[in-house]
Protein backbone atom coordinates (compact mmCIF):
# COMPACT_ATOMS: atom_id res chain seq x y z
CA UNK A 1 0.00 0.00 0.00
CA UNK A 2 2.99 2.32 0.58
CA UNK A 3 3.85 2.17 -3.12
CA UNK A 4 0.27 3.02 -4.00
CA UNK A 5 0.34 6.03 -1.60
CA UNK A 6 3.61 7.30 -3.12
CA UNK A 7 2.09 7.17 -6.59
CA UNK A 8 -1.00 9.04 -5.36
CA UNK A 9 1.22 11.66 -3.71
CA UNK A 10 2.86 12.34 -7.09
CA UNK A 11 -0.58 12.63 -8.63
CA UNK A 12 -1.67 15.18 -6.00
CA UNK A 13 1.49 17.24 -6.54
CA UNK A 14 1.01 17.31 -10.30
CA UNK A 15 -2.65 18.34 -10.35
CA UNK A 16 -3.36 21.62 -12.23
CA UNK A 17 -5.36 23.96 -9.97
CA UNK A 18 -5.59 27.11 -12.13
CA UNK A 19 -9.31 27.84 -11.96
CA UNK A 20 -11.90 27.79 -9.15
CA UNK A 21 -13.65 24.94 -10.96
CA UNK A 22 -10.45 22.84 -11.06
CA UNK A 23 -9.81 23.42 -7.35
CA UNK A 24 -13.35 22.35 -6.45
CA UNK A 25 -13.19 19.23 -8.66
CA UNK A 26 -9.85 18.30 -7.07
CA UNK A 27 -11.23 18.79 -3.58
CA UNK A 28 -14.31 16.64 -4.28
CA UNK A 29 -12.25 13.89 -6.00
CA UNK A 30 -9.90 13.54 -3.04
CA UNK A 31 -11.69 14.69 0.08
CA UNK A 32 -15.39 14.34 -0.88
CA UNK A 33 -17.81 11.79 0.50
CA UNK A 34 -17.08 9.44 -2.38
CA UNK A 35 -13.51 10.66 -2.78
CA UNK A 36 -10.23 8.74 -2.87
CA UNK A 37 -9.35 9.36 0.81
CA UNK A 38 -12.49 7.54 1.81
CA UNK A 39 -11.48 4.44 -0.17
CA UNK A 40 -7.95 4.57 1.22
CA UNK A 41 -9.20 4.74 4.82
CA UNK A 42 -11.44 1.72 4.08
CA UNK A 43 -8.38 -0.19 2.76
CA UNK A 44 -6.39 0.83 5.86
CA UNK A 45 -8.53 -1.53 7.94
CA UNK A 46 -7.01 -4.50 6.10
CA UNK A 47 -3.38 -3.42 6.50
CA UNK A 48 -1.54 -6.01 8.63
CA UNK A 49 -0.64 -4.91 12.16
CA UNK A 50 3.15 -4.34 11.84
CA UNK A 51 2.65 -2.08 8.74
CA UNK A 52 -0.19 -0.05 10.25
CA UNK A 53 2.02 2.63 11.78
CA UNK A 54 3.99 3.40 8.61
CA UNK A 55 0.93 3.27 6.32
CA UNK A 56 -1.07 5.39 8.78
CA UNK A 57 1.58 8.12 8.73
CA UNK A 58 1.77 8.06 4.94
CA UNK A 59 -2.03 8.34 4.70
CA UNK A 60 -2.07 11.36 7.06
CA UNK A 61 0.74 13.00 5.10
CA UNK A 62 -1.20 12.53 1.86
CA UNK A 63 -4.35 14.07 3.34
CA UNK A 64 -2.42 17.05 4.72
CA UNK A 65 -0.80 17.56 1.32
CA UNK A 66 -4.19 17.55 -0.43
CA UNK A 67 -5.55 20.13 2.02
CA UNK A 68 -2.46 22.31 1.60
CA UNK A 69 -2.83 22.34 -2.14
CA UNK A 70 -6.52 23.29 -1.96
CA UNK A 71 -5.77 26.10 0.52
CA UNK A 72 -2.82 27.48 -1.45
CA UNK A 73 -4.62 27.40 -4.80
CA UNK A 74 -7.73 29.09 -3.33
CA UNK A 75 -5.68 31.86 -1.68
CA UNK A 76 -3.80 32.59 -4.89
CA UNK A 77 -7.12 33.44 -6.56
CA UNK A 78 -8.04 32.76 -10.11
CA UNK A 79 -5.18 33.27 -12.52
CA UNK A 80 -7.53 34.56 -15.17
CA UNK A 81 -6.04 36.82 -17.80
CA UNK A 82 -7.04 40.52 -17.37
CA UNK A 83 -8.53 42.28 -20.35
CA UNK A 84 -6.41 45.01 -21.93
CA UNK A 85 -8.26 47.80 -20.10
CA UNK A 86 -7.30 46.38 -16.75
CA UNK A 87 -9.04 45.20 -13.63
CA UNK A 88 -12.77 45.93 -13.64
CA UNK A 89 -12.93 45.50 -9.86
CA UNK A 90 -10.43 48.26 -9.04
CA UNK A 91 -11.80 51.34 -7.19
CA UNK A 92 -12.96 54.13 -9.52
CA UNK A 93 -10.72 57.23 -9.71
CA UNK A 94 -12.07 60.80 -9.41
CA UNK A 95 -13.55 62.39 -12.52
CA UNK A 96 -11.33 65.33 -13.53
CA UNK A 97 -13.41 68.51 -13.80
CA UNK A 98 -12.28 71.80 -15.32
CA UNK A 99 -11.32 74.94 -13.40
CA UNK A 100 -12.27 78.55 -13.97
CA UNK A 101 -9.60 80.60 -15.72
CA UNK A 102 -8.11 83.13 -13.25
CA UNK A 103 -9.10 86.02 -15.54
CA UNK A 104 -12.70 84.77 -15.52
CA UNK A 105 -12.64 84.44 -11.73
CA UNK A 106 -11.46 88.04 -11.28
CA UNK A 107 -13.74 89.45 -13.99
CA UNK A 108 -16.76 87.85 -12.35
CA UNK A 109 -15.79 89.16 -8.94
CA UNK A 110 -15.26 92.74 -10.18
CA UNK A 111 -18.50 92.71 -12.19
CA UNK A 112 -20.34 91.27 -9.16
CA UNK A 113 -19.12 94.10 -6.89
CA UNK A 114 -20.39 96.75 -9.32
CA UNK A 115 -23.67 94.91 -9.85
CA UNK A 116 -24.26 95.15 -6.12
CA UNK A 117 -23.63 98.91 -6.41
CA UNK A 118 -26.41 99.12 -9.00
CA UNK A 119 -24.44 98.84 -12.25
CA UNK A 120 -25.82 96.78 -15.18
CA UNK A 121 -23.56 94.72 -17.48
CA UNK A 122 -23.13 95.57 -21.15
CA UNK A 123 -20.84 94.35 -23.93
CA UNK A 124 -19.88 95.68 -27.34
CA UNK A 125 -18.16 94.44 -30.51
CA UNK A 126 -14.42 93.71 -30.69
CA UNK A 127 -14.21 94.83 -34.33
CA UNK A 128 -15.03 98.54 -34.24
CA UNK A 129 -14.95 101.70 -36.32
CA UNK A 130 -12.81 104.75 -35.71
CA UNK A 131 -15.73 106.75 -34.31
CA UNK A 132 -16.51 104.49 -31.36
CA UNK A 133 -12.87 103.84 -30.39
CA UNK A 134 -11.35 107.28 -31.03
CA UNK A 135 -13.28 110.18 -32.59
CA UNK A 136 -16.40 109.83 -30.44
CA UNK A 137 -14.12 109.87 -27.39
CA UNK A 138 -12.45 113.15 -28.31
CA UNK A 139 -9.17 111.68 -29.58
CA UNK A 140 -7.65 114.33 -31.90
CA UNK A 141 -6.81 113.09 -35.42
CA UNK A 142 -3.07 113.04 -34.71
CA UNK A 143 -3.31 111.25 -31.33
CA UNK A 144 -0.56 108.62 -30.97
CA UNK A 145 -3.05 105.88 -29.89
CA UNK A 146 -4.39 105.89 -33.45
CA UNK A 147 -0.92 105.10 -34.72
CA UNK A 148 -0.30 101.95 -36.75
CA UNK A 149 2.06 100.88 -33.99
CA UNK A 150 -0.73 100.65 -31.44
CA UNK A 151 -3.84 99.78 -33.38
CA UNK A 152 -4.61 96.67 -35.41
CA UNK A 153 -6.53 97.73 -38.51
CA UNK A 154 -8.85 95.32 -40.29
CA UNK A 155 -7.83 95.17 -43.93
CA UNK A 156 -6.80 98.36 -45.75
CA UNK A 157 -9.66 100.57 -44.58
CA UNK A 158 -8.36 102.74 -41.69
CA UNK A 159 -11.93 103.09 -40.42
CA UNK A 160 -12.12 99.45 -39.27
CA UNK A 161 -10.02 98.24 -36.42
CA UNK A 162 -9.83 95.99 -33.36
CA UNK A 163 -10.82 98.06 -30.32
CA UNK A 164 -7.84 99.17 -28.26
CA UNK A 165 -9.98 99.77 -25.15
CA UNK A 166 -13.47 99.01 -23.87
CA UNK A 167 -14.24 102.75 -23.74
CA UNK A 168 -15.81 102.18 -27.18
CA UNK A 169 -18.75 100.49 -25.43
CA UNK A 170 -19.41 103.75 -23.54
CA UNK A 171 -19.96 105.56 -26.84
CA UNK A 172 -22.33 102.85 -28.12
CA UNK A 173 -24.36 102.99 -24.91
CA UNK A 174 -24.51 106.79 -24.79
CA UNK A 175 -25.73 106.86 -28.40
CA UNK A 176 -28.35 104.18 -27.78
CA UNK A 177 -29.80 105.26 -24.44
CA UNK A 178 -30.95 108.30 -22.50
CA UNK A 179 -29.48 108.84 -19.03
CA UNK A 180 -29.63 107.87 -16.27
CA UNK A 181 -27.25 104.97 -16.99
CA UNK A 182 -24.98 103.00 -14.73
CA UNK A 183 -23.01 100.38 -16.61
CA UNK A 184 -20.09 97.96 -16.19
CA UNK A 185 -18.59 96.77 -19.49
CA UNK A 186 -16.10 93.89 -19.54
CA UNK A 187 -14.34 92.84 -22.73
CA UNK A 188 -11.29 91.88 -24.73
CA UNK A 189 -9.06 94.54 -26.30
CA UNK A 190 -6.17 94.47 -28.77
CA UNK A 191 -2.97 96.45 -29.18
CA UNK A 192 -0.05 96.00 -31.48
CA UNK A 193 2.47 95.37 -28.70
CA UNK A 194 5.47 93.07 -28.59
CA UNK A 195 4.59 90.15 -26.30
CA UNK A 196 6.57 90.12 -23.03
CA UNK A 197 6.10 89.37 -19.34
CA UNK A 198 4.35 92.74 -18.96
CA UNK A 199 2.58 93.30 -22.31
CA UNK A 200 0.43 91.34 -24.72
CA UNK A 201 -1.32 92.08 -28.00
CA UNK A 202 -4.61 90.94 -26.48
CA UNK A 203 -5.86 91.57 -22.97
CA UNK A 204 -9.02 92.33 -20.98
CA UNK A 205 -10.52 95.49 -19.54
CA UNK A 206 -13.53 96.47 -17.49
CA UNK A 207 -15.10 99.84 -18.20
CA UNK A 208 -17.50 101.71 -15.95
CA UNK A 209 -19.89 104.57 -16.78
CA UNK A 210 -22.37 106.48 -14.64
CA UNK A 211 -24.38 109.35 -16.13
CA UNK A 212 -27.21 111.19 -14.41
CA UNK A 213 -28.15 114.68 -13.24
CA UNK A 214 -25.69 116.01 -10.68
CA UNK A 215 -23.07 113.20 -10.75
CA UNK A 216 -19.90 114.59 -9.15
CA UNK A 217 -16.24 113.71 -8.68
CA UNK A 218 -17.09 112.81 -5.06
CA UNK A 219 -19.45 110.10 -6.39
CA UNK A 220 -16.62 108.75 -8.52
CA UNK A 221 -14.19 108.67 -5.63
CA UNK A 222 -16.69 107.02 -3.28
CA UNK A 223 -17.67 104.37 -5.85
CA UNK A 224 -14.02 103.45 -6.47
CA UNK A 225 -13.27 103.32 -2.74
CA UNK A 226 -16.21 100.95 -2.27
CA UNK A 227 -14.90 98.79 -5.07
CA UNK A 228 -11.30 98.73 -3.79
CA UNK A 229 -12.40 97.80 -0.26
CA UNK A 230 -14.73 95.07 -1.53
CA UNK A 231 -12.02 93.59 -3.75
CA UNK A 232 -8.76 94.12 -1.81
CA UNK A 233 -10.14 94.15 1.76
CA UNK A 234 -12.05 96.53 4.08
CA UNK A 235 -8.96 98.47 5.24
CA UNK A 236 -7.77 99.27 1.71
CA UNK A 237 -6.80 102.89 1.09
CA UNK A 238 -6.83 104.55 -2.33
CA UNK A 239 -5.41 107.77 -3.72
CA UNK A 240 -6.24 109.66 -6.90
CA UNK A 241 -3.44 111.25 -8.94
CA UNK A 242 -4.22 113.84 -11.64
CA UNK A 243 -3.80 112.38 -15.13
CA UNK A 244 -4.92 112.90 -18.70
CA UNK A 245 -7.34 111.05 -20.99
CA UNK A 246 -8.93 112.71 -24.05
CA UNK A 247 -12.45 111.70 -22.99
CA UNK A 248 -12.47 112.78 -19.33
CA UNK A 249 -11.94 116.14 -17.63
CA UNK A 250 -10.67 116.16 -14.98
CA UNK A 251 -8.90 112.79 -15.23
CA UNK A 252 -7.15 110.73 -12.58
CA UNK A 253 -5.30 107.52 -12.01
CA UNK A 254 -6.18 105.49 -8.92
CA UNK A 255 -3.62 103.74 -6.73
CA UNK A 256 -4.27 101.30 -3.90
CA UNK A 257 -1.96 101.17 -0.90
CA UNK A 258 -0.16 97.85 -1.20
CA UNK A 259 2.38 98.22 1.58
CA UNK A 260 6.15 97.89 1.85
CA UNK A 261 6.43 94.82 4.05
CA UNK A 262 8.45 92.58 1.72
CA UNK A 263 11.14 92.97 -0.89
CA UNK A 264 8.52 92.06 -3.53
CA UNK A 265 6.24 94.87 -2.25
CA UNK A 266 9.13 97.32 -2.64
CA UNK A 267 9.88 96.12 -6.15
CA UNK A 268 6.34 96.13 -7.55
CA UNK A 269 5.48 99.50 -5.98
CA UNK A 270 8.86 101.01 -6.95
CA UNK A 271 9.49 101.81 -3.30
CA UNK A 272 6.33 103.92 -2.84
CA UNK A 273 3.95 101.29 -1.41
CA UNK A 274 1.28 102.43 -3.93
CA UNK A 275 0.08 100.50 -7.00
CA UNK A 276 -1.88 101.91 -9.91
CA UNK A 277 -5.07 99.95 -10.68
CA UNK A 278 -7.20 102.11 -13.00
CA UNK A 279 -7.82 105.31 -14.95
CA UNK A 280 -10.93 107.45 -14.46
CA UNK A 281 -12.46 110.90 -14.68
CA UNK A 282 -15.54 113.00 -15.30
CA UNK A 283 -16.88 112.37 -18.79
CA UNK A 284 -15.86 115.37 -20.93
CA UNK A 285 -18.96 117.42 -21.88
CA UNK A 286 -17.78 117.28 -25.50
CA UNK A 287 -18.01 113.45 -25.35
CA UNK A 288 -21.56 113.60 -23.96
CA UNK A 289 -22.59 116.03 -26.70
CA UNK A 290 -20.95 113.94 -29.45
CA UNK A 291 -23.22 111.04 -28.43
CA UNK A 292 -26.34 113.22 -28.26
CA UNK A 293 -26.50 113.74 -24.47
CA UNK A 294 -27.30 117.22 -23.13
CA UNK A 295 -24.22 118.21 -21.15
CA UNK A 296 -26.01 121.15 -19.52
CA UNK A 297 -28.42 118.71 -17.90
CA UNK A 298 -26.29 115.61 -17.32
CA UNK A 299 -22.84 114.84 -15.99
CA UNK A 300 -21.08 111.55 -15.45
CA UNK A 301 -17.98 109.66 -14.50
CA UNK A 302 -16.11 106.84 -16.23
CA UNK A 303 -13.32 104.47 -15.33
CA UNK A 304 -11.36 101.66 -16.94
CA UNK A 305 -9.13 98.93 -15.54
CA UNK A 306 -7.06 96.03 -16.87
CA UNK A 307 -8.18 92.61 -15.63
CA UNK A 308 -4.74 91.02 -16.16
CA UNK A 309 -3.04 93.61 -14.01
CA UNK A 310 -5.46 93.14 -11.13
CA UNK A 311 -5.32 89.34 -11.44
CA UNK A 312 -1.50 89.44 -11.33
CA UNK A 313 -1.67 91.50 -8.13
CA UNK A 314 -4.20 89.23 -6.50
CA UNK A 315 -2.42 85.95 -7.25
CA UNK A 316 1.18 87.26 -7.37
CA UNK A 317 1.63 86.18 -10.99
CA UNK A 318 4.87 87.49 -12.45
CA UNK A 319 4.40 86.84 -16.16
CA UNK A 320 1.38 87.97 -18.20
CA UNK A 321 1.98 85.26 -20.81
CA UNK A 322 0.91 82.56 -18.32
CA UNK A 323 -2.73 83.66 -18.87
CA UNK A 324 -2.70 82.74 -22.54
CA UNK A 325 -0.53 79.64 -22.72
CA UNK A 326 -3.17 77.38 -21.15
CA UNK A 327 -0.57 75.26 -19.39
CA UNK A 328 -2.56 72.91 -17.13
CA UNK A 329 0.10 73.14 -14.42
CA UNK A 330 -0.77 76.87 -14.18
CA UNK A 331 -4.55 76.60 -14.61
CA UNK A 332 -5.02 73.73 -12.15
CA UNK A 333 -3.73 75.98 -9.35
CA UNK A 334 -7.03 77.87 -9.56
CA UNK A 335 -9.20 74.82 -8.88
CA UNK A 336 -11.83 75.76 -6.33
CA UNK A 337 -11.78 79.50 -7.13
CA UNK A 338 -15.39 80.38 -7.84
N1 LIG B 1 -9.44 103.55 -21.89
C2 LIG B 1 -8.32 103.81 -21.01
C3 LIG B 1 -7.17 102.88 -21.39
O4 LIG B 1 -7.36 101.93 -22.08
C5 LIG B 1 -8.70 103.55 -19.57
C6 LIG B 1 -9.68 104.55 -19.08
C7 LIG B 1 -9.23 105.72 -18.47
C8 LIG B 1 -11.02 104.35 -19.21
C9 LIG B 1 -10.11 106.66 -18.00
C10 LIG B 1 -11.93 105.29 -18.73
C11 LIG B 1 -11.45 106.44 -18.12
O12 LIG B 1 -13.25 105.13 -18.83
O13 LIG B 1 -12.34 107.36 -17.67
O14 LIG B 1 -6.06 103.13 -20.98
**Can you state the percent helix, strand and coil of the chain, rounding each to 5?**
45, 20, 40
Q: Ligand 1 atom 8: the closest Cα is on which residue?
A: 304
What is the spatial distance between Cα 46 and Cα 286, in angstroms, rounded to a whole number? 126
Going residue by residue through the chain, which has 338 residues, state the pLDDT in tens, using 9 for 90 and above: 888 889 999 999 999 888 888 899 999 999 998 888 898 888 888 888 888 899 999 999 999 999 999 988 888 765 667 777 777 788 888 887 888 999 999 999 999 999 999 999 999 999 999 999 999 999 998 888 787 668 999 988 889 999 999 999 999 999 999 999 999 999 999 999 999 988 899 999 999 999 999 999 999 999 999 999 999 999 999 999 999 999 999 999 999 999 899 888 888 888 999 999 999 999 999 999 999 999 999 999 999 999 999 999 899 898 999 999 999 999 999 988 87
Every domain of the chain and the residues it spans: 2-76, 102-334
Looking at ligand 1, which residue's alpha carbon is closest to its atom 12?
303
Whether 240 contacts 338, CB under 8 Å: no
CA of 169 to the centre of ligand 1 (A): 11
d(CA 245, CA 140): 11
Q: Which of 122, 167, 204 to mutate to test the pocket of ligand 1 (most atoms within 8 A of CB)?
A: 167
Beta strands in 261-330 (DSSP E): 274-283, 299-306
8 Å CB contact between 262 and 226: no
In CATH, what number does 102-334 get?
Answer: 3.30.930.10
Q: Which of 146, 184, 242, 303 to mutate to test the pocket of ligand 1 (most atoms within 8 A of CB)?
A: 303
Residues in the chain: 338
| Helix-then-strand count for the chain, H and E | 13, 9
> pTM here?
0.73
Amino acid sequence: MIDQLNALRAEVDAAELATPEAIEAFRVAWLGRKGQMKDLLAQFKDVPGPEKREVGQALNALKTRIEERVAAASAAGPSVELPAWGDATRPAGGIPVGTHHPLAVVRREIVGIFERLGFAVSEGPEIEDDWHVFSGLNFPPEHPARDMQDTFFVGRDPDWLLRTHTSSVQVREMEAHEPPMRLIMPGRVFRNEAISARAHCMFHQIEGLYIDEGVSFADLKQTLLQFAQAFFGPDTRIRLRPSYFPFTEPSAEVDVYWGLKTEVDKRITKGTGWLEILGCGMVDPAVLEASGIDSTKYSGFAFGMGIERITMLRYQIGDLRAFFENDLRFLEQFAGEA
